A and B are shown apart, each in its own frame.
Chain A
Amino acid sequence: MRALLNIFAFLVCGLGLGYCSADYSMQQGLATVSVRNGPWITWPSAGSATADPYTRAHFAAHGHLPLTAFEAVSFRANSDQQGQLLDQDCEYVVEGRAFNARWWSLTAYNTDRTLMENPAERHSFNSRNIVFSGQGEFQISLARDPRPGNWLPLAASGGFQLTLRLYNPDADIKNNLQAVSVPVIKKVACS
């Protein structure tokens, strides 16, 4: 009986530990293969033929078809500046400056990486259609109800994530992802 219990514990712990550690390293990114910049994370070798297994796994696990860093760099955030998970029951302001890239976009997704359904059919702003408030500075409000300026509607309750894509970025972005002036994500209030 004791031997059976040992085998059971061995299988449960071994399988669980192996699966959970793999899932965590694929989803959250190991420090050796991903770069964190504030609440944002990026995978420098995405799309590259020489990408490490964890980067490949991260993108392949969702059937994602990545571009190489030469073509586009993408940052993803699922928490605010304080490290709290983004929540559609709250309101946020995203503040940043224009990037040294041919064009860029900021998009809100559900946690399953689908676009949020909303009556305005607005899911993103890009460098061509966003309203800048100063010398290349911008502010985007994320809230359920309309807000003046750049407003991205939040839909149902639950978490969400933001993806920032910089297309044909300048060398200073590609070479120093940690120093990119990524937007600040501030929580305003929660309902």
Chain B
Amino acid sequence: MRRLLYWCVATLLLAVVVHLFVVIFVPGVDTGQKLAQMEAAGEVNKLHQIAAKDTHQVLLTEPSPDLRYAFCKFDIRTRPLMIEGSVPPGYWSVSVYGETGSNVYTLNDRQAGVQKLQLMIVTEDEPFDDEARPENTIIVRVPTASGLVLFRALVSDRSQEELVESHLAASKCGLRPVQQAAG
């Protein structure tokens, strides 16, 4: 009887350890794979539109067919990242995700209140002189040097598709130029 109790307790302990391991570590692996897929789909620190068909199914999980997406997988170990968003009429948002897929920052068109929005992404531990901030630029501090920027723009009916996609195409993502970074 005592032996049986011993095995039951040991089994439960193993189950608890496995449970915690799966909850804490496995999802990170899945997110890493998804971000790696995005990295493979296009150059890092550059904005890529996701086509309305085909790649939706691969790059994004549970994509909304009412939205058009553009993403920029970033790596800011050397310099900050500059994001320029061209805001279409209608719902639009830009989100910044850390390398574990956590939503670090989101801003929508109403909050932005402008047609051209500038963001600069820097790591939390990077010393940054706020006075060196470019004019009309929002600074976003992220916990990890790599991650993802994702634009979402509403296409409420197909007649708007071209307009919305032209705004996403006019948006930019790239490392801050060296001379600017030094200044």
Interface residues, chain A, CB within 8 Å of chain B? 6, 9-11, 13-15, 17-19, 21-23, 25-26, 47-49, 51, 53-54, 56-68, 70-71, 102-103, 105, 107, 109, 113-115, 123-124, 126, 128-129, 163, 165, 167-168
Contact = CB atoms under 8 A, between A and B. Distances in A.
Contacts of B62: 62, 64, 109, 113, 163
A36 B181 CA distance: 49
Given A10-B14, A68-B103, A124 B66 contact: yes
Interface in B143-158: 148, 150, 154, 156-157
Given A58-B27, A62-B30, A65-B61, 19 more contacts: A11-B14, A14-B10, A14-B12, A15-B15, A18-B15, A18-B18, A21-B19, A22-B23, A25-B19, A60-B100, A61-B26, A61-B30, A63-B30, A66-B103, A68-B106, A71-B95, A113-B61, A126-B154, A163-B62
Interface residues of B, number: 51
A67 B65 contact: no
Interface in B27-71: 27-28, 30-31, 33-35, 37, 56-57, 60-66
Interface of B: 7, 10-24, 26-28, 30-31, 33-35, 37, 56-57, 60-66, 91, 93, 95, 97, 100-104, 106, 108, 110, 148, 150, 154, 156-157
Contacts of B7: 6, 9-10
Name A's interface SS: mixed
Given A14-B15, A63-B34, A113-B61, A47 B28 contact: no
B57 A19 contact: no
B103 A48 contact: yes
Name B's interface SS: helix
The 5 closest A-B CB pairs, nearest first, are A18-B18, A63-B34, A14-B14, A60-B27, A128-B156
B101 to A, nearest CB: 5
